[in-house]
């Protein structure tokens, strides 16, 4: 899990670096690995070890695109903007 002690707050804008599990089809097993990925998104919710990020929200709608991450896959995060500042 990320080195930060405090879990980010819902509504905060984050820069999150995490390890993405990847699928490999018809490849040598030695090529299979996790891939480092970075997302900039708003925290939608945190439940136990689950972090859900809003990556886009459709205007006038209550739905959009999201990324769900296990906190154990997160290398680090940085709060770019707190909800109260947006």
Is 49 a member of any domain? yes
The pLDDT, as a whole number, for residue 6 is 79
Is 69 a member of any domain? yes
Is 54 a member of any domain? yes
Sequential pLDDT tens for the chain (86 residues): 555 567 889 999 999 999 999 999 999 999 999 999 999 999 999 999 999 999 998 899 888 999 999 999 999 999 999 988 76
Is 23 a member of any domain? yes
Q: Which one, of 42, 39, 30, lies nearest residue 74 by Cα?
A: 39
Who's near 31: CB < 8 A, 6+ residues apart?
24
Is 72 a member of any domain? yes
Is 8 a member of any domain? no
Is 34 a member of any domain? yes
Domain residues for the domain of 66 are 13-81
Is 21 a member of any domain? yes
Name the CA radius of gyration of the chain, rounded.
15
Q: Provide the domain count of the chain.
A: 1
The pLDDT, as a whole number, for residue 16 is 96
At 28, list the tokens: 């040598």
């Amino acid at each position: 899990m990320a080195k930060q002690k405090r879990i980010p707050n819902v509504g905060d804008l984050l820069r999150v670096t995490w390890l993405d599990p990847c699928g490999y089809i018809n490849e040598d097993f030695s090529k299979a690995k996790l891939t480092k990925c970075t997302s900039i998104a708003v925290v939608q919710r945190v439940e136990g070890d689950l972090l859900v990020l809003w990556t886009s929200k459709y205007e006038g709608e209550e739905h959009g695109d999201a990324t769900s991450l296990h906190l154990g896959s997160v290398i680090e995060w940085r709060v770019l903007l707190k909800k109260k500042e947006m």
